[in-house]
Chains A and B, each alone.
Chain A
């Protein structure tokens, strides 16, 4: 893990992973209903990384997404108190997107209609999965979170996650894989937070799980 000025102890790392595991557990149930198929979840991972290293982590050799054109559906969320901002991303290989939309709309939809509705359907899939995660996180953070509308883009990780000029902050990279059981299409859900949001979130997660503060 990079030195980003904040260290997570084992209890906190475990609590963060469990937080996102709970969030994705609920989201995977919604996704399974949407595509009428069992969704398998991977073990969640939580890392603190420099913003400039983000692409390497997403596009890395262990990610299963290396040099793969991706479909990215993203929404930004902010707490009413404006103390937590998070950028939530649903990511899967572009080649799998049409198949996911077909599962959602049913096999009797023509290819022409499928292509016409693909972007809209992907936005709605992201809306359901990401909001389902955020419902759980809002409960744990004890905050009402308001979100932007979904933004759908395709491209390589280096294009989709290029840092802004001068932006070298730290981000929390919480990842969990979702796999449709019979179709071998894997997706990833990623939550990115800046340090201020992360510190507030950690405080709220400690309270939720009853973990004593590191300074105590």
Chain B
């Protein structure tokens, strides 16, 4: 798969617009042809995924309404192939354990170049 593959799509979910902007900015630098969708909470993320399934979902944990792991599990129920990254400042062991149990990759905020590289690598692994 080419790194400029326009079929590569991401859904970035965070109640902070700044955080979404930073994540999308770093990913877009690496994948200029990729498509990016955004959502500001878990419920909206599930609805957005139903409308436009994404290859990779980057998900915050603490958001209004359902938390990021709950939203991720609902998205996983819609697609067996989706890869989900939990990107959160809440790095307590209990949260990491919940992510791990759900088969979700855990990353600690703030987003930085190395984490963006890891997300891109995850996106490029064939489903």
Contact = CB atoms under 8 A, between A and B. Distances in A.
Contacts of B88: 131
B19 interface: yes
A54 B16 CA distance: 31
B21 interface: yes
Interface in B78-95: 88-94
A42 B108 CA distance: 25
Where chain A touches its partner, the secondary structure class is helix
Interface residues of B, number: 21
A104 B18 CA distance: 10
Contacts of A149: 15, 62-64
A138 B95 CA distance: 11
A216 B112 CA distance: 49
Contacts of A131: 62, 88-91
A106 to B, nearest CB: 9
Given A33-B110, A128-B110, A147-B62, A134 B18 contact: no
Interface of B: 15-19, 21-22, 62-64, 88-94, 108-110, 112
Given A105-B18, A127-B109, A138-B93, 17 more contacts: A30-B89, A30-B108, A30-B110, A123-B16, A124-B18, A124-B19, A127-B62, A131-B89, A131-B91, A134-B90, A138-B92, A144-B92, A144-B94, A145-B92, A149-B15, A149-B62, A149-B63
Interface of A: 30, 33-34, 104-105, 117, 120-121, 123-124, 127-128, 131-132, 134-135, 138-139, 144-145, 147, 149
13 contacts: A30-B89, A104-B18, A105-B18, A121-B16, A127-B89, A128-B89, A128-B109, A131-B91, A132-B89, A132-B91, A135-B90, A138-B92, A139-B92
